[in-house]
Each structure stands twice: as C-alpha cells, then as structure tokens.
C-alpha cells in the first residue's frame, strides 16, 4: 500500500465511514499514538483487588511503559514507573509481592512504595542528601479510581476520569451491581495472549457485532450456543456510541424480550442458588431479578479496557504490529458458586487456547497481513450508516451488526490525534 503522510492531516486518513490502511501499519503513526493517546488519555491499569493488603504491589503497564501499582501502608494506591532513577534498571522483577520498599538489584538504591528515594549504599560517594527529593521513582501523573478500577494518565492536566468515562460509567456500575457484596475480586491472574496485529484491530473487534456468527460459528454450533442469534439480522440488540471512543453492544433488549434470569450467562438461577440468594438479599427480589435478566455489560472503554460480560481484557500495544491481550475472569467478592462457573467458562473461552479468542486472534493476524495489500487502500466501515439513530439519551445507536462502534472509535481517535498535532 502507498504510504500516506500523516502530517498531511488526519482527515486524509480517517473519513466518516472508511479509514486508511496505513493507520494499522505505519510505525510513525504508532509512535504518534503512544504520545497522543497512550501517554495522554486515561488508560486502565489494574484493579484495587489486585493489591488487597497494605504494601501489596503488582507489575502492570500503560502500553509499553512498565508500571508498578502499589498500595501503601495507609491503603492509598500509587502508580510508579518501574525504572530506577539511578541507571534505569527495572526496580521490581517479580510480577507481584508485598514490600514497603523496593531495592534496585543493580546498585541497591532503595525506594518506598510511594516512590520516595529512601537511600543508596555508600552515600559518602554523593555530596549531600538534598538531591534525594528529586530522585524518587517516576510516577504516572494522575491516578483515578472508579468502582475499584484504577486508571492512570501521564498528562498533568486534562479531563477528569469521570469526564473521560462519561456515559460508559454506567457500564461499570452495571458490572459491579451484579456482585452481591458490591465488590469485584480480580485476583484470579491474567493470561497473556500475544498477537502480531495492530492494537486497533482488537479495539474495533471487541464491539463488532457483525463477526460472531462467522468467526465463532464453530464453537456456537458444537456448544449449541444461542450467542450467535444475539448478533443476527433479527436481533433487537443495539450497537452504541457512548462517547469518548467508548462503545458497547447492548444486548439488554434481547435479554428483556426473553425474560430469563441468568439467560445472558447461559444458565438458570437453580444452578447458582447461593449467588442468587445473596443478590436478592442485597438488592431485593425484584431488582435482583431485573439485574439477572439484563446481565453484564459488553463494553469497550477506549483505549484498552474491554468488559465482555464475565471477562475483563486489557489491550497492551507493544509495537505497530504486536499487541498483548491480558485477560482474567470477573469474580464477585464473596460469591463462590457463581465465581467457579465464571472462572471455568472464562478459561474455556479466552486466552491462547480459548474456544473464542483463539479465533478472534487469528482474524487479527490475518487482518494485519491483509492490510498491507497495495489495493484497495481503505478499510470500509459503512455498515448501518443509513439506519443509525439517536436513542433517548442522545447516544448514536445502530442495529446489533452495525459498525456504529467502529465509526465512533475512529471519530474519537481522530480528535485525539489532531489535538496532539
């Protein structure tokens, strides 16, 4: 494909209903994305339940940046860069641990888990201690926590986390509302599934209601799954632009039409009686029934957090053509019978050997190879342009299989890239 000069203007690459293939392949565009999206906007980093105890820490990331998420002795969460301020060694090597301080293995520089430099060996080699204040670990400029979801932004200023989440907040509320304790426990560990594809291939696919009947027909047919029909021509489900690049497949119209509690999870209340009783105790029988009919959200929070009902994906770009999907099972704190089922269904569905995600990932890599073709140069995102409409909240919606979400993602992307120009 011919290379289009990105400096000529993002409007030349991103039109309303088609985008240029070079957006997935041009290393210069990828570098620009790191600066204008990954190192500027709010990016999901981790969940507070991954550091449940004082002085717990986990090694996480913001794109290619290595980040340590810590909980200090007071319970406060910090996002520090995993880089010694002395000679740049990685301070933490273990994926998780419990320590009030980190000691770099290279020369022994020691930092508190809030990032403060506590000291270094043989301090007579330095002429004074005053420089210590400037030599604390780098930190992600802003940290925001919503319902236990920890986001970081490298930009000192900009929209607040709540402004960034906007209407997508409601999806997180819906997710948490299904936990009888009102809390999630995301400590089952993450699978790391690597693909040779651009990160936007993944973002676009997460709320693409057009692909399931094709990409996933093999597992739908052998498992007698009804998921395929949710994304059919007859489906009353909606695709929705939630603003700020956040998008969802809203399956509630279908689940409400069917009216079966836990139908969204492919089970019935009698299979998870303890969980249902707990939820009824917490919310009341009527509201619990509504929650169990509506089910869990299917929402992509731009740029990197995908909630797929009972799974949570974090998208991590590593290069223009290399991306890692981190995935774990949603677990409701204190609901063991439901958690067992959600964990086992997640293990079956996702990750490198998953019945669903292995096939999605094959598509990502095939897309990435295909988009290098010289002709045609454009990716077509026209589906449903003639029937998209505003819902009662003023959000743009389309039919279940329409490309409303993909167009929404690119509109937001273009705004961010133009803002950084």
Partner 1 sequence: MSGATVNRDLLLEVEQFVYREARMQDEHDYDGWEALWTDDALYWVPANGDAIDPTREMSIIFDNRSRIATRVKQLKTGKRHAQAPPSRTRRVVSNVELLDGAGDGGELVVGANFVLYESRERGVTLWAGRSTYRLRPTGDGLRMAYKKIELVNNDRAIFTLAFLI
Partner 2 sequence: MGVGEVVSEFAAVAVSIDHEGNGPRLRIEDLKTGHVGYLDALELETLAWLPEGALHPLLDPSLHRWRKPAPNGGHH
Residue 324 interaction partner, one of partner 2, partner 1, none, beta carbon < 5-8 Å per kind:
partner 1
Under a CB-based contact definition with an 8 Å cutoff, are residues 259 and 293 in contact?
yes
**Separation CA 27–CA 87 (nearest Å):** 28
For residue 60, CA distances in Å to 17, 47, 79, 81, 181 come to 35, 10, 9, 10, 26
CB closer to partner 2 out of 8 and 94: 94
CB closer to partner 2 out of 189 and 284: 189
Residue 119 interaction partner, one of partner 1, partner 2, none, beta carbon < 5-8 Å per kind:
partner 2
Q: For residue 417, which phi and psi values (nearest 5 degrees)?
A: -70, -35
- The 10 Å CB-count burial string (b at 16+, else e) for 343-355 is bebbeebbbeebb
Q: How far is the CB of 313 from partner 1 (least distance, A)?
A: 12
- Rg of the chain over all Cα atoms, to the nearest angstrom: 23
Q: How far is the CB of 185 from partner 2 (least distance, A)?
A: 23
CB closer to partner 2 out of 123 and 268: 123
Q: What residues does 317 pair with on adjacent strands? A: 323
Residue 120 interaction partner, one of partner 2, partner 1, none, beta carbon < 5-8 Å per kind:
partner 2
Q: How far is the CB of 296 from partner 1 (least distance, A)?
A: 18
Q: Residue numbers of the site for partner 1 (CB under 8 A)? A: 95, 188-196, 215, 217-219, 221-223, 324, 327-329, 340, 343-344, 346-348, 351-353, 355, 358-359, 361-363, 365-366, 369
Q: How far is the CB of 257 from partner 2 (least distance, A)?
A: 53
Q: What residues does 117 pair with on adjacent strands? A: 111
What H or E segment, with its residue span, contains residue 204? Answer: helix 199-206
Residue 28 interaction partner, one of partner 2, partner 1, none, beta carbon < 5-8 Å per kind:
none
Q: How far is the CB of 260 from partner 1 (least distance, A)?
A: 23
SS3 404: helix
Residue 64 interaction partner, one of partner 1, partner 2, none, beta carbon < 5-8 Å per kind:
none
Q: How far is the CB of 253 from partner 2 (least distance, A)?
A: 50
CB closer to partner 1 out of 177 and 371: 371
For residue 100, CA distances in Å to 57, 72, 92, 114 come to 9, 7, 12, 8
CB closer to partner 2 out of 25 and 100: 100
Q: How is residue 162 written in tokens?
A: 């709540």
Please report the sign of the dihedral spanned by the C-alpha atoms of residue 230, residue 381, residue 171, residue 81. positive
Q: Residue numbers of the site for partner 2 (CB under 8 A)? A: 72-74, 92-94, 97-103, 108-110, 112, 116, 118-124
Angle (CA) 62-65-68 rounded to 5° is 75
Residue 100 interaction partner, one of partner 2, partner 1, none, beta carbon < 5-8 Å per kind:
partner 2
Q: How far is the CB of 118 from partner 2 (least distance, A)?
A: 5
Place of tokens 């492919």: 266
CB closer to partner 1 out of 182 and 348: 348
């Amino acid at each position: 494909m011919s290379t289009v000069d990105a400096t000529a203007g993002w409007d030349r690459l991103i039109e309303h209903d088609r985008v240029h293939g070079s957006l997935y392949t041009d290393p210069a565009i990828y570098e620009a994305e790191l600066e204008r999206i990954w190192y500027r906007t709010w990016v999901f980093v981790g969940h507070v339940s991954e550091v449940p105890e004082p002085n717990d820490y986990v090694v996480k990331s913001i794109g290619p940046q290595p980040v340590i998420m810590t909980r200090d002795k007071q319970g406060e969460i910090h996002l520090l860069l995993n880089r010694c301020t002395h000679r740049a060694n990685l301070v933490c090597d273990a994926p998780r641990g419990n320590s009030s301080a980190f000691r770099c293995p290279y020369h022994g520089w020691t930092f508190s888990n809030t990032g403060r430099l506590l000291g270094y060996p043989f301090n007579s080699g330095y002429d004074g201690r005053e420089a210590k204040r400037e030599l604390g670990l780098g930190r992600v400029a802003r940290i925001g926590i919503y319902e236990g979801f920890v986001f970081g932004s490298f930009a000192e200023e900009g929209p607040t986390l709540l402004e960034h989440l906007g209407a997508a907040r409601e999806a997180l509320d819906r997710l948490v509302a299904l936990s009888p304790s009102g809390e999630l426990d995301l400590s089952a560990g993450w699978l790391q599934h690597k693909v040779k594809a651009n990160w936007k291939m993944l973002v676009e696919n997460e709320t693409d209601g057009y692909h399931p009947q094709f990409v996933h027909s093999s597992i739908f047919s052998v498992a007698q799954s009804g998921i395929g029909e949710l994304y059919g021509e007859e489906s009353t489900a909606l695709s929705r632009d939630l603003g700020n690049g956040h998008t969802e497949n809203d399956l509630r119209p279908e689940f409400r039409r069917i009216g079966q509690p836990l139908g969204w999870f492919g089970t019935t209340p009698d299979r998870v009686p303890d969980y249902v009783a707990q939820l009824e105790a917490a919310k009341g029988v009527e509201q619990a029934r509504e929650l169990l009919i509506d089910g869990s959200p299917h929402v992509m929070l731009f740029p990197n957090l995908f909630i797929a009902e009972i799974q949570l994906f974090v998208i991590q770009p590593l290069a223009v053509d290399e991306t890692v999907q981190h995935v774990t099972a949603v677990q409701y704190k204190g609901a063991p019978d439901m958690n067992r089922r959600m964990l086992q269904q997640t293990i079956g569905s996702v990750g490198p050997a998953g019945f669903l995600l292995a096939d999605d990932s094959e598509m990502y890599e095939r897309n990435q190879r295909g988009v290098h073709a010289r002709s045609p140069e454009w990716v077509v995102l026209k589906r449903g342009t003639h029937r998209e409409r505003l819902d009662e909240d003023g959000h743009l919606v389309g039919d279940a299989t329409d490309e409303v979400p993909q167009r929404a993602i690119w509109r937001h992307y273009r705004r961010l890239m133009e803002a950084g120009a």
